[in-house]
Amino acid sequence: MNFLDNRWMRAAVPALLIHCSIGTVYCWSTFKESIAQQIGMSTFAVGWAFSLAIFFLGMSAAFGGRMVERDIHRSSLISCLCFTAGMLGTGVCIQFLHGIPALVGIYLCYGCIMGIGLGIGYLTPVKTLMLWFSDQKGLATGISIMGFGLAKAIATPIMERIQDTLGVSAMFYILGTVYFFVMLLGHFLLKKPGGWVEPEEAAGSFRPMAWFRNPMFLGIWLMFYLNIHCGLALITYEKQILTSAFAGTAILGTVVSIVPSVTAAFNALGRIGYSTVSDHMKDRNTVYKIIFSSCIVVTAAALFTQAISRGPQAAIFGILAIVLLIVVNAGYGGGFSTLPALLSSRFGMEQISKIHGLALSAWAIAGITGNNMSELILEHTGRRYDNILVATLALYAVSLVICLVMVSVKKKASATCAVCGAEAE
């Protein structure tokens, strides 16, 4: 069994098995309309199941860090059971319930139970990866979190095929069963390096609220939140933005069918690309400077050329809309994958699962605010997508300021954790 005891079989492979399973949460748009039709509810009402799943993802990660630090096998098993039970329960609610009871059941199963499995599963492999790949932390987390991003591209055609042939409830039964065995395999393979012993933790040594009084951590949390918020504000309206930019043109159908696959690929490439590049940078925060600067440039270009709203008379500017979505998707993914390595560079590895989990609470909040901000803007401005660009441009600018002022390290000593006293790498 010695062939198993290496960083690929004990860290990278199990991380991919877990993340490629739970990452299918982003396939929501593939089946939400089918669910709404089958249970007799509006897509808006059903859509809150996804928002709840992201909220519970972030909050379970925030509060599950202590358990992950102590026992990754317990946490990986809990993730497997909650995630797959949530999927199977969702299938039961769709098949046997209707109206409000079905909706409440889906909120509970898909939103709450599955969301908890998502958060614990997302967090569980990260520290193990960074311990095995101590010299390439960015590459390690990039591999795993790329799996989370690739899950949509892998699972979407499978889900569509099962839905078309067997129905949406059967899809949840089949995939819930498959993911149970996939995640269980990841659970058995996952293992920290031999000889690594978690340091004893003093009672009450990790105080979550105290971290928000640390300007460095607060700055990282804020820029992470804003990157997700802005990303979701645009990504969740990707199809509508492309339809508006290429309305009345002969290539509209081609653009709407092909470009989302391209942007999904850049989302995954951003996850492994940005984090891997950070391994070769003096300061990993430079990646976020690049992300926010590039998003500001393309958002401003799309806004000032009216790339989304000019229509068929100037469809050439629609290319800027495609570039915008590509850059935002890449930065969205890269922000996730670079976060663990950035946190370890600022606060060390000793409590990284707890710190990373706490930072992921930003994801919980952004999962609710991002797409809802866009919906409110569209509702009150006559469905003009350019107005979303105004808001995201301003927020990307704020993110860059936070990145430059609060997160940049002026002196080596400033990278010492003000909360726990740990030295950064």
**Structural domain boundaries of the chain?**
1-190, 213-409
For 232, residues 6+ apart whose C-beta sits below 8 A from its C-beta are 332, 366, 367, 370, 371
Q: Are 340 and 137 in contact (CB under 8 A)?
A: yes
Q: From CA 120, how far away is CA 177, in angstroms rounded?
A: 19
pLDDT score for 311: 63
Residue type, 302: A
pLDDT score for 424: 52
Domains 1-190 and 213-409 are alike in CATH topology: yes
CATH tag, 1-190: 1.20.1250.20
Give alpha helix (H) positions in 236-317: 238-245, 252-278, 285-304
Kindly state the tokens that stand for 395.
């927020």
Q: From CA 25, how far away is CA 266, in angstroms rounded?
A: 18
pLDDT score for 312: 60
Name the phi and psi angles at 348, rounded to 5: 80, 180
Residue type, 402: I
pLDDT score for 411: 47
pLDDT score for 404: 96
Q: From CA 34, how far away is CA 159, in angstroms rounded?
A: 12
pLDDT score for 415: 44
pLDDT score for 208: 81
309 in helix, strand or coil? Answer: coil
pLDDT score for 145: 84
Identify the H or E element spanning 16: helix 13-22
CA 66 to chain centre: 21
For 64, residues 6+ apart whose C-beta sits below 8 A from its C-beta are 75, 119, 120, 123, 357
Domain at 213-409, CATH class:
mainly alpha
Name the phi and psi angles at 382, rounded to 5: 70, 35
Q: Which position has the token pair 């930003």?
A: 362
Low pLDDT (below 70) residues in the chain? 1-2, 199-205, 311-315, 410-425
Kindly state the tokens that stand for 145.
């979190």
Tell me the pTM: 0.87
